[in-house]
Amino acid sequence: VTNGGKTTLAEKLKKMLPNCDIISQDDFFKPESEVETDERGFKRYDVLDALYMDEMVNSIRNWMKSPASSGGVTEEPQNTCANLKNTEDVYILIVEGFLLYNYEPLNELWNRRYFLTLPYEECKRRRSTRVYQPADTPEYFDGHVWPMYLKYKNELEENGSNVVYLDGTKSQEELLSCLYTDIIQELKKMRE
C-alpha cells in the first residue's frame, strides 16, 4: 500500500542484516511524459505500465549474479546476534515496491513476500502529508490511487500467492521486529 512504510522498513532492515542491499521499485518509474493519463485526467502512476519493469528485473538478476560486487552491501550489521554469526557467505536483497507481486517475471525470484496493508482513512491521511512530483490533485487518491491498490491487492489474493500480510498501523519497531525474526528464521532454513 502507498505510504505503508515499505522504504523505511527496508532501510532499517538493511542496517541490521549482513551483506544486505535494497532495490526500490520507485527507481524505475518512467518520466511523467511517458505515463498515460486516464479518461478523468489522472496520471496513471499506480499501474505496471508506469514503470520500467524489465529494467527492474534485469537489475535484480544482475545483483543475484554478483551480490558481493553490488557496492551497497553492509559490511558489519548493527545489532549482530548469535543467529547471524558465520553469515559472511549470505547475501540478502530486499526488493521494495508497491506492484512487485503482480508482475509475473518477478514471482520466480522471491524467497519471502511481505505485503503491508493500511485501512483507507489511515492511508489517505499519510498520503496527504507527502509531497509528490507531480503533486497529487485533491481527487487523485480516491479516483486512482486507492482503486488501483484494491485492484492489485485483489489480484494478489486471487492468485493465492504465499504472502505474509503485515498491519501497517503497527509501530515501526513492531513491524521491524516481526520482519527481522522471520528473515532470521528463513536464513536458518536455507542454511540447513
Residue 126 resides in a domain: yes
Q: How many structural domains does the chain have? A: 1
pLDDT tens digits, one per residue of 108-160: 899 899 999 999 999 999 999 998 887 888 899 999 999 999 999 999 898 87
Interatomic CA distance for residues 164 and 4, integer angstroms: 15
At 92-101, the pLDDT tens digits run 999 999 999 9
CA 159 to chain CA centroid, Å, is 19
Let me know if residue 25 belongs to a domain: yes
Residue (of 66, 80, 64, 110) closest to 18 by Cα position: 80
pTM confidence score: 0.87
Look at residue 160 and tell me if it is in a domain. Answer: yes
Three-state SS for 62-110 is: HHHHCHHHCCCCCCCCCCCCHHHCCCCCCCEEEEECCCCCCCHHHHCCC
Q: Please identify every residue annotated as catalytic.
A: 26
Q: Average pLDDT for residues 59-83, to the nearest whole number?
A: 69
Q: Specify if 171 maps to a domain.
A: yes
The CATH number given to whatever domain includes residue 160 is 3.40.50.300
Average pLDDT over residues 41-56: 94
Question: What would the grid cell of residue 102 be?
Answer: 503482480
Q: For 161-170, what is the mean pLDDT?
A: 91
Calpha distance 48→78 (Å, rounded): 35
Residue 86 lies in a domain: no
Q: Is residue 73 part of a domain?
A: no
d(CA 189, CA 191): 5
Q: Which domain holds residue 138?
A: 6-67+91-190
- Distance between CA atoms of 70 and 67, rounded to whole angstroms? 5
Residue 53 placed within a domain? yes
Q: Is the pLDDT of residue 21 over 90?
A: yes
Q: 62 is written with which cell numbers?
A: 544482475
